[in-house]
């Protein structure tokens, strides 16, 4: 027992260094991408609910500044930053990028809990669906049994049902990658293709295409959800 104790004491610094290196690799910025979340605070984000982006995106600069400023109290009430993670309590406005994006690849990680229901709005349009996919979650009748990553508001058209169920168990981080060019969307969840070149339907005017530029929104819709390593690469 004494020899084993001494051995553990000797290797513990190396183990600490190795763990530190692994942690830095996990949080490394992918080549060609830039961070949307700085890991420290909510800089670069404001709050918005489900609102047709065409009703506000062309507001004057002073009007936009005021609109964003008025949302700060709400987002700081329901969102916090801890250990380089964005944490939402399941309530409040959706965290929305100040920047608007056209064609892009979005890469991030999320972790959620039982009964949670969330998603990602693309250019301000709902949404890449994230939810509790277990039967106990109570949303199998809405399609939850098929998994997360589908374009929920495309129902019943292409993209609504994920190609495979790729969710990890509660408590584990999920890797999500979204590519949007024009109206076409591809989604990978935990390295598995779940949406393949589906047209994102305009939630408000289904006969019209989505805008060619808009924000990324992290939806809050019941149940804690955590986000980290949020990176984007704009496609020129």
SS3 of 85-131: the string is EEEECCCCCEEEECCCECCEEEEEEEEECCCCEEEEEECCEEEEEEE
Domain containing 153 equals 32-234
Cα separations in angstroms, 201 against 16, 54, 64, 160, 204? 49, 15, 26, 10, 9
Q: Which two tokens stand for residue 50?
A: 């489900």
5 is a domain residue = no
- pTM, two decimals, is 0.88
In the chain (236 residues long), the average pLDDT of successive 10-residue segments reads 41 42 58 96 97 96 96 97 96 97 98 92 97 91 93 90 96 97 98 98 95 96 93 96
Residue 212 lies in a domain: yes
Which tokens belong to 37?
């979340």
pLDDT number for residue 24: 38
The structural domain count of the chain equals: 1
Question: What is the CATH classification number for the domain harbouring 139?
Answer: 2.60.120.560
Q: What pLDDT score was predicted for residue 118?
A: 94
Q: Give the per-residue pLDDT at 27.
A: 64
pLDDT of residue 13: 44
What span, in angstroms and rounded, lies between the C-alpha atoms of 119 and 151? Answer: 9
Question: Looking at residue 14, what is its pLDDT?
Answer: 46
- For residue 53, give the H/E element and its range: none
């Amino acid at each position: 027992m004494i020899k084993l104790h001494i051995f553990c004491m000797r290797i513990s610094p190396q183990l600490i260094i190795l763990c530190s290196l692994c942690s830095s690799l996990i949080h490394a910025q992918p080549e060609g991408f830039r961070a949307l979340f700085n890991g420290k605070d909510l800089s670069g984000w404001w709050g918005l609910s489900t609102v047709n982006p065409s009703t506000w995106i062309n507001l004057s600069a002073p009007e936009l500044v005021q609109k964003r400023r008025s949302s700060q109290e709400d987002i700081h009430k329901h969102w916090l930053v801890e250990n380089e993670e964005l944490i939402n309590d399941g309530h409040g406005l959706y965290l929305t990028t100040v920047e608007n994006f056209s064609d892009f690849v979005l890469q991030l990680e999320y972790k959620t809990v039982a009964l949670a229901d969330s998603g990602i709005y693309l250019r301000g349009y709902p949404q890449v669906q994230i939810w509790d996919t277990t039967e106990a979650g109570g949303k199998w009748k809405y399609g939850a049994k098929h998994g997360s990553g589908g374009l929920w508001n495309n129902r019943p058209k292409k993209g609504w049902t994920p190609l495979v169920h790729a969710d990890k168990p509660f408590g584990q981080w999920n890797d999500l990658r979204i590519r949007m060019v024009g109206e076409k969307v591809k989604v990978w969840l935990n390295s598995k293709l779940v949406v393949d070149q589906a047209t994102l339907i305009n939630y408000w005017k289904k006969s019209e295409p989505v805008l060619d530029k808009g924000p990324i929104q992290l939806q809050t819709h019941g149940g804690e959800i955590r986000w980290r390593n949020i990176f984007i690469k704009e496609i020129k």
